Amino acid sequence: MRPWEANVRTVVPYVPGEQPKQKNIIKLNTNENPYPPTEGVTAALHQMDTDVLRKYPDPTSEVLVSAIADYYHLNNNQVFVGVGSDDVLAMCFLTFFNGTAPVLFPDITYSFYDVWADVFRIPYECQPLNAEFQIRKEDYYKRNGGVIFPNPNAPTGALLPLEDIEDIVAHNQDVIVIVDEAYIDFGGCSALPLIEKYENLLVVQTFSKSRALAGMRIGYAMGSKVLIKYLNDVKYSFNSYTMNQTALIAGVEAIKDDAYFHEITGKIMATREYVKQRLAELGFTFADSKANFLFVTHQDCLARDLFEALKKAKIIVRYFNKPRIDNYLRITIGTDEEMEELIKFLKNYLSAAKGAGASK
């Protein structure tokens, strides 16, 4: 080791989903929305006065904060925005998780949580999901330095009932509890109403999935004005200009078009339920996902082998080589046409595997 390396902060980084460069693939690995953003976004970007790009954006992001606050019937001082929910969550870790007791989150969950904990030198302790990949609320009653979990969970898609979320918050009123709702718009019940009752609760959402703006990187947190002030204090000490002009414009237009938002989320949920039925017929098992993806396994084939076979067929899904879930694949819900191609491939693959087994 060179002398200066002794002072380098080293971590095992988060590994994002593959973004293939080739064309003519079916991309079902990073939970992007298969439909375009509302036409209002395209129109607003085309009409944008490019002179604004030579100036710094509004550091308060007031136009977007106001649009989000109006949509959820909140005050502006209850909303914090950032560059995707990853940026928002990282600010939350840096701002609120500074005690000596460990932060608690599930063992099977969004794999950025332990990375942020390592980066910021935050002690943490993973709580095992049960055999059905569900959070056990009792695991979060113990002494801790904060609690965070996704709902629906990722990568399992399992939804925790609102009463269980409130129970966890009620047992942890001396620390900050964060509910990461990246996928809540696909059939879940948001914990947002609870922020009026619990000053220590933050609810984090994103425009990346349900509003089809993953490329714009817009995330936001909602909570008490006290928590939002603390977040802004840290943000302004870290990077005052987090949201660029195009993201502010696109975000406002996206949240305006509520009819389109419900149209595309409704399509995705309908496709998801149809795919559940077809995969079950093929012998796959999975949790009852309320997200825009399914987390599937099959007793007659190895997930890694199926992942590679799908990739060769230009169908990209997500494989996690981790304990307890190394025989599962996470499959994003695409268009009806994309999912039909997936099902067709899986049917042929399983049939060929069965035939090869019978011939031995």
Computed over every residue of the chain, the mean pLDDT equals: 96
With CA atoms as reference, report the closest residue to 285 among 184, 156, 186, 183.
Answer: 156
Burial class (CB in 10 A: 0-12, 13-18, 19+), 287: buried
Question: What pLDDT is attached to residue 23?
Answer: 86
Whether the CB-CB separation of 332 and 208 falls below 8 Å is answered with no
What one-character DSSP code corresponds to residue 37? P
Q: Is the pLDDT of residue 358 over 60?
A: no
Mean pLDDT of 85-93: 97
Question: What pLDDT is attached to residue 21?
Answer: 87
With CA atoms as reference, report the closest residue to 112 among 25, 16, 189.
Answer: 16
Per-residue tokens: 100: 């000596």
Q: How far is CA 63 from the centre of its chain?
A: 24
Give the domain ranges of the chain. 22-35+259-353, 39-256
Give the tens place of pLDDT for each residue, 153-191. Answer: 999 999 999 999 999 999 999 999 999 999 999 999 999
Among residues of the chain, what percentage have pLDDT more than 90? 93
Whether the CB-CB separation of 174 and 205 falls below 8 Å is answered with no
What one-character DSSP code corresponds to residue 121? T
Neighbours of 360 (CB within 10 A): 4
Q: Is the pLDDT of residue 309 over 80?
A: yes
Q: Do domains 22-35+259-353 and 39-256 have the same CATH topology?
A: no
Among residues of the chain, what percentage have pLDDT more than 70? 98
Assigned architecture for domain 22-35+259-353: Alpha-Beta Complex (3.90)
Instruction: Output the DSSP codes for 145-206.
Output: SEEEEESS-TTT-PPPPHHHHHHHHHTTTTS-EEEE-TTGGGT---SGGGGGT-TTEEEEEE
Whether the CB-CB separation of 60 and 240 falls below 8 Å is answered with no
Cα–Cα distance measured from residue 123 to residue 223, given in angstroms and rounded to the nearest whole number:
24
What one-character DSSP code corresponds to residue 136? -
C-alpha distance across the termini of the chain, in Å: 54
Question: What pLDDT is attached to residue 1?
Answer: 81
Question: What pLDDT is attached to residue 354?
Answer: 75
Cα–Cα distance measured from residue 176 to residue 91, given in angstroms and rounded to the nearest whole number:
13
Give the tens place of pLDDT for each residue, 8-60. Answer: 998 999 999 989 888 899 999 999 999 999 999 999 999 999 999 999 999 99
Q: Is the pLDDT of residue 359 over 70?
A: no
For domain 39-256, give the CATH number: 3.40.640.10
Cα–Cα distance measured from residue 328 to residue 321, given in angstroms and rounded to the nearest whole number:
9
Cα–Cα distance measured from residue 68 to residue 276, given in angstroms and rounded to the nearest whole number:
33
